[in-house]
Copies of this chain bind each other. A is one copy, B any other.
Amino acid sequence: MHIDKQSPIPIYFQIMEQLKTQIKNGELKADAPLPSEREYAEQFGISRMTVRQALSNLVNEGFLYRQKGRGTFVSKLKMEQPLQGLTSFTEDMRSRGMKPGSRLAEYQLIPATEELASILGCGYPSMLHKIIRVRLANDIPMALEASYIPFDMAGKLDASHFRSSMYEHIEEYNQMPISRAKQELEPGTASQEEAELLGIQPGAPVLYIKRTTYLQDGTAFEHVKSAYRGDRYTFVHYMDRVK
């Protein structure tokens, strides 16, 4: 393990990457104490504060934990964690080892309803992209999805946008990264129409997911209502205590 002080890559970042690798490799075993912050600082010939920045980030991400007066240790978890976080349908399916796909069912530019304008925090007479798609996994229907995106935040859309990464387009168009989403999950039973589009029996269990996604400054840029097949989809996530 060594660092390159001349590299344009920040030192704390180099340390983080190497420690993550060592944890994944098993070179650093779960519950094993790391060398102390002062040892790392001396070993690399850098300041202790720089070491702390690296370690603090890894603690926040759950790779390490600290104990006052004792030391810093490797966390047991995190080795097999998909580490999902906020993902698009496409990323979600890929991380499950399935081939994502999509069939456009409807596209329109519509005036915002009162409900959507309020959720999206946009002016009342504003226009929204309305995109309804059947989402596929390994060519089999997995979910039915209706997205609403303010025209102001995406500009004109065409078929190419529906195929490639919409999230990247949004980040570029607004010059601001995506940072958070609020989701609401509720069980239900498939309606006649949902059942037909998803290829299941009416009355079969479905998982309704409503998502509102926000840019870094807290502006909402999309609202999505979807219905996932209960027989093929389990929603998995990780939560942190307090914060």
In the docked arrangement, what's the CA distance between A234 and B186, Å? 5
A65 to B180, CA, bound (A): 12
| A178 contacts the other chain (CB 8 A) | yes
Residues of chain B within 8 A of A236, CB atoms compared: 182-185
| Complex interface: chain B residues within 8 A of A237 (CB) | 182-183, 185, 237, 239
In the complex, chain A residues 148-185 whose Cβ is within 8 Å of any chain B Cβ: 177-185
Interface window among A10-18, A78-86, A94-102, A110-118: A78-86
A130 smallest CB distance to B (angstroms) = 23
**For the complex, is A188 an interface residue (Cβ under 8 Å from B)?**
yes
| Identical chains in the assembly | 2
* CB interface residues, A 206-243, toward B, < 8 Å: 206-207, 214, 216-219, 230, 233-243
Cross-chain contact B234 with A180 (CB below 8 angstroms): no
Residues from chain B with Cβ under 8 Å of A77 in the complex: 180, 214, 218
Other-chain contact of A85, B83, B214, B241 (Cβ < 8 Å): B241
Query: In the bound complex, what is the Cα–Cα distance between A77 and B179 (angstroms)?
Result: 11
Closest Cβ of chain B to A227, distance in Å, is 10
Cβ of A75 under 8 Å from chain B: yes
Task: Report A's interface with B, CB cutoff 8 A.
Answer: 30-31, 49, 60-62, 65, 73, 75-78, 83-86, 121, 177-189, 203, 205-207, 214, 216-219, 230, 233-243
Nearest 3 A-B pairs (CB), nearest first?
A76-B218, A187-B187, A77-B218
Q: A181-B238, A187-B187 are in contact. List 9 more A-B contacts (CB 8 A).
A: A31-B217, A85-B239, A85-B243, A86-B242, A182-B238, A183-B236, A185-B235, A185-B236, A187-B188
